[in-house]
Amino acid sequence: MTTAAGSLATLLVLADGRLPAGGHAHSSGLEAQVSAGRIRHLADVDAFLRGRLATGGLVASAFAGAGCARTHAIEDLDFAFEVRTPSPALRHASRAQGKALFRAGRAMWPAPALHRPDVHQPVALGVVAAAAGLAPEQAAVAAAWHTISGPASAAVRLLGLDPYGVHALLARLAPDCDTIATKAMTYLEKSLDDLPADGAPLLDIGAEHHATWEVRLFAS
Partner 1 sequence: MRAVARIVAAPDGRGGTSLPTLAGEPPLLVRRTGTRQPGVPADVHLVGGAAGPLGGDRLRIEITVESGAALVVRTVAASIALPTPHAHGRPDTSLVEVHATVARGGLLHWLPEPLIGAAGCDHDAVTRVDVADGGTLVWRDELVCGRHGEDSGAVRLHTTVRYADRTLYRHDLTVGPAAPGWSGPAVLGGRATGTLIVIDPAWSDGGPPPATPLGDTAAAMPLPGPAMLATAVGADLRAVRAPLERARQLTSAAA
Q: What is the DSSP letter of 3?
A: P
Q: Which is nearer to partner 1, 197 or 219 (CB)?
A: 197
60 contributes a contact to partner 1 by CB under 8 A: no
**Spatial distance between the Cα atoms of 120 and 95, rounded to a whole number of angstroms:** 5
> Which 8-state DSSP code applies to residue 53?
I
- Regarding 82 and contact with partner 1 (CB under 8 A), the answer is yes
Binding of residue 178 to partner 1 (CB under 8 A): no
Q: Is 212 exposed, middle or buried (0-12, 13-18, 19+ CB in 10 A)?
A: exposed
Report in angstroms how near the CB of residue 108 gets to partner 1 at its nearest: 31
Under the binding rule (CB under 8 A), the answer on residue 22 touching partner 1 is no
In a 3-state reduction of DSSP, which class is residue 218? coil
- Considering beta carbons, is residue 13 or 176 the nearer one to partner 1? 176
Residue of 88, 110, 117, 163 that binds partner 1 (CB under 8 A): 88
Is 48 a residue that touches partner 1 (CB under 8 A)? yes
Q: How far apart are CA 162 and CA 28, in angstroms?
A: 20
Angstrom distance (rounded) from CA 104 to CA 14: 10
Q: Is 38 in the site for partner 1 (CB under 8 A)?
A: yes
Pick one of 44, 61, 126, 138: the residue that binds partner 1 (CB under 8 A): 44
The 8-class DSSP code of residue 55 comes to I
192 near partner 1 (CB under 8 A) = yes
Q: Considering the rule CB under 8 A, would residue 17 count as an interface residue with partner 1?
A: no
Residues 91-130 that bind partner 1 (CB under 8 A): none
Evaluated on CA atoms 66, 71, 77, 82, the torsion sign reads positive
CA-wise closest residue to 6 among 139, 169, 99:
139
Indicate whether 76 belongs to the interface with partner 1 (CB under 8 A). Answer: no
138 residue type, one letter: Q
User: Residue 47 interacts with partner 1 (CB under 8 A)?
Assistant: yes
Q: Would you tell me which residues interact with partner 1 (CB under 8 A)?
A: 29, 33, 36, 38-39, 44, 47-55, 79-80, 82-84, 86-89, 176, 192-193, 196-205, 208-209, 211-212
